[in-house]
Amino acid sequence: MLKSIITKLTVKDVRFPTSLEQHGSDAMHTDPDYSVAYVTIDTDCESLKGYGITFTVGRGTEIVVCAVKVLSALVIGKTLEEIVSDFRGFYRLLTNDGQLRWIGPEKGVIQLAVAAILNAIWDMWARAEDKPLWKLLVDMDPKQLIRCIDFTYITDALTEQEALDILAKANKGKQEREDQMLKEGYPAYTTSCAWLGYSDEQLTQLCSAALGEGWTRFKVKVGVDLQDDIRRCKLIRNMIGPENKLMIDANQRWDVNEAISWVSSLAEFRPLWIEEPTSPDDILGHAAISKALAPLGIGVATGEQCHNRVMFKQFLQASALQFVQIDSCRVGSVNENLAILLMAAKFKVPVCPHAGGVGLCELVQHLILFDYISVSASLDNRMCEYVDHLHEHFKSPTVIRKACYIPPKDPGFSCEMLETSVQKHQFPHGEVWGRVLAQKHSPII
């Protein structure tokens, strides 16, 4: 299987009209149509394919699709063996192309496109080994794992030897943790109840249903109107009681001082963290907010729009976050997330992944399982986001039991979509968009 040659890479623009019902809405993304650039890689072996996605929210998908097409020339003709035997080299080939890096490097559209392709390569590798991705990672020789990571620009924070030492230390108890995950699953929190565009009635009804299903950790969107935030946080806190956890997410809405004063006004509802209080690039701003909010017992969480390992390195070095939110599509796939998980372990900062969207839960569950079993060895202050939308479009959807992610069993990275779903939601000619566009009169579409 490893000798198979990649013969074709196709990419499709697949969008879901989630904005019609305000699913996924927040202070900055008021009309998110959850979307993916969906990559399929074919090989000369009929039974070996790879599927990968990157997540976007509508119109931007077209641009990511274009970037994937340009990058595909670097992939076609390679064997899987060639790629995985020097995965670090292959990662650099995609991220450091002499002409394409000018529109990055390692950030923005080009980085999202790299993620889609590499997610498909990791999916294919896991399928070739007949394992779910998390198990491929857990079973991999630490030296081989380390050879997948590009350490360029991060050796001042984490050397290869330190990374190996972290993996060696976590070797103790690894089998017990794997067994525990298979039995109990990885703890999750829900964001599904309190999107910004939901009414109080909707919020009340969804929160009460979630409590009934056993959820104990809830995230609320904030940031547009302080009085609204106070009302909504009070409503949720009253419903969930004093013991359950509450998190708030502003999606980059504020300036630094505004963030400090706004969140201080919400402190009475005891949020565990404020997520993305300000620009995702403002490391020193996040450090100032962290320092100001620490006495109130509120941490800062960020990462869903943190574009590479170098940014995470600086956030960690500057004590600018207390919760690392890795994302399976924002950075350069598993390769770069391995670096981020290991840096978080070195700095002793808990990882609480960003998920939701389309397929982000399916993907990131593999990474956080690996983190617990092979890297952090801890569940303290850790949980993985869950959002209950669009799972029905995947061949191996996430399984949630008692508010925990149950480890996937199917080989691969869980992001293969149902062919019928892809066809119906392809933009703009799928049948779903035929209907939606007939009613919309947007000048941009």
Ligand X SMILES: C[C@H](O)[C@@H](O)CC(=O)C(=O)O
The residues that touch ligand X, with contacts defined as CB under 6 A, are: 24, 26, 29, 32, 57, 191, 249, 251, 304, 354, 356, 385
The residue to which tokens 């300000």 are assigned: 278
Q: How far is the CB of 266 from ligand X (least distance, A)?
A: 17
Per residue, the 3-state secondary structure of 352-377, as one string, reads CCCCCCCCHHHHHHHHHHHHHHHHHC
Q: How far is the CB of 3 from Mg ion (least distance, A)?
A: 42
106 binds, among Mg ion, ligand X, none (CB under 5 to 8 A by kind): none
DSSP annotation of 330 reads T
Query: What percent of the residues of the chain are helix, what percent strand, and what percent coil, each to the nearest 5?
Result: 45, 15, 40
Q: Which is nearer to ligand X, 38 or 189 (CB)?
A: 189
To 10 degrees, the CA torsion angle through 325, 111, 131, 189?
A: 20
Cβ atoms of 17 and 436 within 8 Å: the answer is yes
The residue to which tokens 């002499």 are assigned: 98
Q: Which is nearer to Mg ion, 178 or 275 (CB)?
A: 275
Structure tokens at 288: 């100032």
Q: Which is nearer to Mg ion, 129 or 275 (CB)?
A: 275
Q: Measured between alpha carbons, how far is residue 7 from residues 48, 51, 238 in Å?
A: 11, 14, 57
**CB-nearest residue to ligand X:** 24
Q: Which of 305, 297, 240 is nearest to 263 (CA)?
A: 297
Contact map string, positions 122 to 141, toward Mg ion, x by CB under 5 A? --------------------
Active site residue 221: yes
Q: Of 221, 286, 366, 389, which residue is the catalytic one?
A: 221
Residue 178 interacting with Mg ion (CB under 5 A): no
Q: Which is nearer to ligand X, 32 or 187 (CB)?
A: 32
- Cis? peptide before 411, omega within 30° of 0: no
Q: How far is the CB of 133 from Mg ion (least distance, A)?
A: 23
Structure tokens at 236: 């949720």
- Classify burial at 18, counting beta carbons within 10 Å of its beta carbon; exposed 0-12, middle 13-18, buried 19 or more: buried
Q: How far is the CB of 143 from ligand X (least distance, A)?
A: 35
Q: How far is the CB of 94 from ligand X (least distance, A)?
A: 26
Q: Which is nearer to ligand X, 87 or 195 (CB)?
A: 195
Instruction: Please report, as residue ranges, which positions from 203 to 262 form the binding site for Mg ion (by CB under 5 A).
Output: 249
Q: Of 286, 307, 354, 389, which residue is the catalytic one?
A: 354
Q: How far is the CB of 251 from Mg ion (least distance, A)?
A: 6
Active site residue 234: no
11 phi, psi to nearest 5 deg = -140, 135
88 binds, among Mg ion, ligand X, none (CB under 5 to 8 A by kind): none
Q: Which is nearer to ligand X, 26 or 229 (CB)?
A: 26
Instruction: Please report, as residue ranges, which positions from 24 to 83 form the binding site for Mg ion (by CB under 5 A).
Output: none
Instruction: Please report, as residue ranges, which positions from 266 to 295 form the binding site for Mg ion (by CB under 5 A).
Output: 275
Q: Measured between alpha carbons, how far is residue 152 from residues 47, 142, 329, 346, 353 in Å?
A: 36, 19, 20, 17, 24
Whole-angstrom distance, CA of residue 280 vs CA of residue 73: 32
Catalytic residues: 221, 354
| Site for Mg ion, rule CB under 5 A | 249, 275
